[in-house]
């Protein structure tokens, strides 16, 4: 059987019906629904799930509801695979924003100016955002 992409290959391997851990990880957002904004699946240790919770208040609340959460997960998976959930407090993973490495570097542009040819080439770019990025790249290369 030939696969057209790595995604197809992994999809065929990871969708085996006998591997409930993979189904759990794949369907986690569907299983927990709106609670996903308060927690994330950290790891699977045998039949025990380790779930990271972003706030200690939610940790307490979810600990109290853990039998119901276990039942919901097992119902979704179609068997009694999970016996217990261990909740731990974790920090929320923030998406990396595209900010400059240091504010000083952005503020202190070198005292070097573009020559007329470089200015002409830069101004010939129609996209204003691209112009700004190229100008920053030029100054970073000069430093």
H-type helices in 15-127, by residue range?
A: 20-32, 56-64, 66-77, 103-107, 116-123
Q: 22 and 55: one domain?
A: yes
In this structure, the answer to whether residues 51 and 78 fall within a common structural domain is: yes
pTM of whole model > 0.85? no
Q: Is residue 3 part of a domain?
A: no
pLDDT digits (tens, 9 = 90+) for 56-77: 888 888 999 999 999 999 999 9
**Residue 129 pLDDT class (50, 70, 90 cuts):** confident
Question: Percent of the chain beyond pLDDT 90?
Answer: 34
- CA 141, distance to chain mean position in Å, is 31
Q: Is 4 domain-assigned?
A: no
Q: Per-residue pLDDT for 88 more than 90? A: yes
Residue 133 lies in a domain: yes
Q: Categorize the per-residue pLDDT at 113 as very low, low, confident or very high, splitting at 50, 70 and 90.
A: confident
Residue 86's pLDDT is what? Answer: 95
Number of separate domains in the chain: 2
Are 25 and 85 contained in the same domain? yes
Residue 7 domain flag: no
Q: Is residue 79 part of a domain?
A: yes
**pLDDT for the residue numbered 66:** 92
Cα dihedral 103, 106, 108, 114 in deg (nearest 10) = 180
Q: Which domain does 25 fall in, by range?
A: 13-89
Q: Are residues 29 and 68 in the same domain?
A: yes
């Amino acid at each position: 059987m030939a696969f057209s992409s790595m995604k197809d290959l992994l999809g065929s391997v990871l969708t085996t019906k006998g591997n409930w851990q993979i189904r759990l990880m794949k369907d986690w957002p569907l299983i927990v629904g709106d609670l996903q904004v308060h927690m994330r699946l950290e790891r699977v240790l045998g039949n025990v799930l380790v779930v990271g919770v972003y706030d200690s208040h939610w940790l307490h609340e979810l600990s109290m509801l853990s039998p119901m959460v276990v039942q919901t997960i097992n119902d979704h998976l179609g068997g009694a695979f999970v016996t217990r959930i261990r909740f731990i407090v974790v920090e929320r993973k923030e998406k990396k924003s595209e900010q400059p490495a240091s504010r000083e570097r952005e503020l202190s542009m070198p005292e070097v100016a573009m020559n007329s040819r470089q200015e002409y080439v830069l101004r010939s770019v129609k996209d204003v955002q691209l112009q700004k990025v190229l100008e920053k790249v030029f100054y970073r290369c000069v430093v």
